[in-house]
Structure 1
Amino acid sequence: MKALLALILLLQLPIHKAVPAAPPAPLGCDDPKSEAAAAAAVNYINGNSHHGYMFTLNRIENIRVLPQGPNNEIIFLELDLLETTCHILSPTPLENCTVRSFTDHAVEGDCDVKLQNTNGQLSVVASKCHSNADSGEDVRQHCPDCALLAAWNDTEVQAAVTEALNDYNSKNGGAYIKLLEIGRAKIQHHPAHIVFVEFAVAATNCSTEEANVETCQLLPDDQSNFGFCTATKVITPSKELQVNCQLYGHQPGVTYSPPGQYTPAGLVPGVVQGFINHNLRLSHNNPLASESFSSEFSASMLSAKSVARRAVAEVAQHDKVPRPVGFVPPPPPCPGKIRHFKI
């Protein structure tokens, strides 16, 4: 009888259903965790690029985090990058590299990156990047007389690079240097006719005193000595050539992969037909990146943008409620702040 009474009382107790936990708020693009993931992604991109210049973070456009179990998650990032003045072969740390200015005809990079975060350790799983120069019209609106990027195979550009190399080798002792690649070229027509070129070089097994430089070969990887040159060639109103080259010395582990055919003077013009900037899509290629990754990334980003839109709508709804004086509504999760300038 006592057992039956206890059962009746137990059945009369209120039943509390488990309430599912609310989904976590979307991670903001300017959250320290997002910035750490972006830093790892940029470091990976620069470390796996072999041509052109280092890129730095300008803005985190979007982020999506997918939990994969305890202490394990997948992070999808959409990043805007900007080209710096440091060539990819330079030993200069990225934080000491100057961002290419807007009036210097800036180049923007767009990257989709997939990372894995395991116990706080970030590793890039896949990435897909491309980059392009700002439009000449945008530059001219702010600086009508600024020189614009020119094609590397332009005859004036080729002539300026050749003259600059000959000038340096004729005035400096030591190893004869040879062209690796043209990094940038600009031509100004007014008020003076000037050609500006930047190019990567490397020391050869010849000295500058040797006459037959046609047979000079680049030093092997275990002795390589890369460098970078800038040159300004004034054509009118007077003829003038200024050349500045810096050799970095041997850097263990740093190698250069030729993108095409070479002549003793450097790249065959036809190989770089019409190019005005090094595209990250050409200089950086992760074999794990694929169309399936792009589809996966796009689907994830659509989901992330939906969450972000809901968050913005909620902020807008909350703003209809009277707030204390000085109240500042929280910013939308993404996109993040612009660190330099928007192209």
Structure 2
Amino acid sequence: MKGFHIVVLLSSAVLRVSAAPAPELVTCGEEGGPAAARLAMHRINENHDHGYKFRLQKIQSHGVEKVDGGCNLELQLNLLETVCYNINPKPFEDCQIRGEAERAVMANCTVQFSIRNNDANLTKYECDTRQVKTNQEMMMLCPDCPMLVPLNSVDGLKSVKEAVSKFNQNTTNQHYYILKEVGRIRVGHVLGLGMHYYTEFELVETHCPMGSRINPEACQPLCPDRAHHAFCQSSYSNATGLKSVACDFYPPSNTTALGPGEQEPLCRHHGGGHPPHVGHGSPCLPTPPGGDGHPPHVGHGHGPPPPGSDPRTHSPCIPPPRVGGGHGGRHHGGDGKDDKEKQHHGPPFGSKQHFHPFHPFHPFHRCRGSDPALHPICPWPRSGHRPGHRPSHRQDD
């Protein structure tokens, strides 16, 4: 069989960032609902620093509670996920909503505002993020459409790892890049060619100069405001390997030149220190017995463990999920609901689907979510948020 040609496309994305929207009056009347919803969308996307930006689909309901000096608002909002990753500077209003065949994602959000003396404060929001169609529904509508699988799928991350390696081999960048976050992994079967993986992921620039002998996976990322970032898409076949990688680059927000003899500052990142290594001998990815290229299962990854595995074991690199909920799915329910969720949202390939004990740069379990293939919108305020320190929207008469 003739091999596939590997194409690495590297493009610079120069996007115009629109000015901040002019303040809108958020009132206690019915007319204040749309303005409050738009303000909520800006806050949600500002806080949503993993995964993709969202756009407002519709206001489901709008409730007002009158109090002395103003009111409390509660909105029920329906949101749809866009194709813009969170590092993309394009305003979320201009981002394309993901199509159904690409596995559309929605979020139902309850948003609360406090309005006092013309001061509108977003006090709380909670969202339920899920796929618009379940795997079973998509199989009925589009049997050939690739399905989303958990973000730590072994074969999915294997394809990402090869794409990152190819990226670093085929660029003129000054520094190596490492994987920061996997955005999504889709998998589908191509007749005669086996399983194909379509991945989207974020890379971050490191301190390591291109061409140095250090393993890029051991490199320390530059400070977030000093680093270039890249958002990439790759295609991989189990039969023929990596097929293509295409990336958009985003420049750092801080472009101040270093002074003579000055070195790049070191920043403390989430999780502390270096990101986990991937490869043989790594504490996050043990050398697999038999050399078959698949690490042993480490339980409580994302999705159900393979038959015969010990569900009490968990990876040293991924914390065990919370009982009753976690980004990795719920495994401890007693009412059968969790099993139904796993049937609807879990991997479509049954016991053959294994799970990778490695997640790149940030901890995987950031907040609760029922679908391990998605980055959910996390509740706000986040844990540890200072009371009274809330985003506000001052409105002058």
Instruction: Give the TM-score of the pair, scaled to structure 1.
Output: 0.67
1:17-166 equivalent positions in 2, closer than 5 A: 33-69=32-68, 72-118=70-116, 121-133=119-131, 134-166=133-165
The residue type equivalent to 2:99 in the other structure is: S
Partner of 2:276: 263
CA deviation after TM superposition for structure 1 residue 203, in Å:
0.4
Whether contact under 8 Å (1:180, 1:258) holds in the other structure is: no
**Is 1:167–2:166 an aligned residue pair?**
yes
> Which of 215, 233, 237 in structure 1 is aligned with 2:236?
233
CA distance in 2, matches of 1:239, 1:219: 30
How far is 1:285 from its partner?
3.4
Q: Does residue 278 in structure 1 map to residue 375 in structure 2?
A: yes
Question: Which letter maps to 1:187?
Answer: V
2:297 alignment partner in structure 1:
none
Q: Secondary structure at the match of 2:183?
A: strand
Equivalent position SS for 1:262: coil
Q: Secondary structure at the match of 2:190?
A: coil
Is the CA contact (8 Å cut-off) linking 1:170 and 1:208 kept in structure 2? no
Q: Mean Cα displacement is larger for which, 75-84 or 115-124?
A: 115-124
Residues 230 and 245, structure 1, Cα contact 8 Å, conserved in 2: yes
What amino acid is aligned across from residue 219 of structure 1 in structure 2?
A: L
- Give structure 1 stretches of 5+ with no counterpart: 1-25, 291-343
| Counterpart secondary structure, 2:128 | strand
2:172 is paired with a residue whose SS is: coil
Q: Is the 8 A contact 1:40 1:122 kept in 2?
A: no
| Percent identical residues | 25
- Tell me the amino acid that sits aligned with residue 177 of structure 2: I
Corresponding residue of 1:301: none
Letter in 1 for 2:219: C
Question: What is the rounded CA distance, in whole Å, between the counterparts of 2:156 and 2:383 in structure 1?
Answer: 37
Structure 1 Cα separation of the partners of residues 249 and 93 of structure 2: 21
Where 1:223 maps in the other structure, the secondary structure is coil
**Between Structure 1 and Structure 2, which shows a larger proportion of helix residues?**
1
The verdict on how the C-alpha distance between 1:124 and 1:94 changes in structure 2, with shifts beyond 3 A counting, is same
**Pair 1:201-2:203 in alignment:** yes
Whether the aligned pair in 2 keeps the contact of 1:226 and 1:249 (CA below 8 Å) is: yes
Q: Who wins on radius of gyration, i.e. which is larger? A: 1
Which residue does the alignment assign to 2:213?
A: 211
Code of the residue aligned with 1:264 in structure 2: it is H
CA drift of 1:101 comes to 1.1
CA contact (8 A) 1:204 1:218 kept: yes
Structure 1 segments of 4 or more deviating over 6 A? none
Q: CA deviation at 1:105?
A: 1.1
TM-score by structure 2 length?
Answer: 0.58
Residues matched between the structures, number: 257
Give the letter for the 1:160 counterpart: S
Which amino acid counterpart does residue 40 of structure 1 have in structure 2? Answer: L
Query: Which residue identity is paired with 2:276?
Result: T
Structure 2, gaps ≥5 residues long: 1-27, 255-266, 285-316, 318-355, 366-370, 386-397
CA contact (8 A) 1:181 1:199 kept: yes
C-alpha distance in structure 1 between counterparts of 2:384 and 2:62, whole Å: 18
**Cα separation, partners in 2 of 1:61 and 1:163, compared to 1, 3 Å:** same
Query: Structure 1 residue 188: deviation in Å?
Result: 0.6
CA distance in 1, matches of 2:138, 2:383: 36
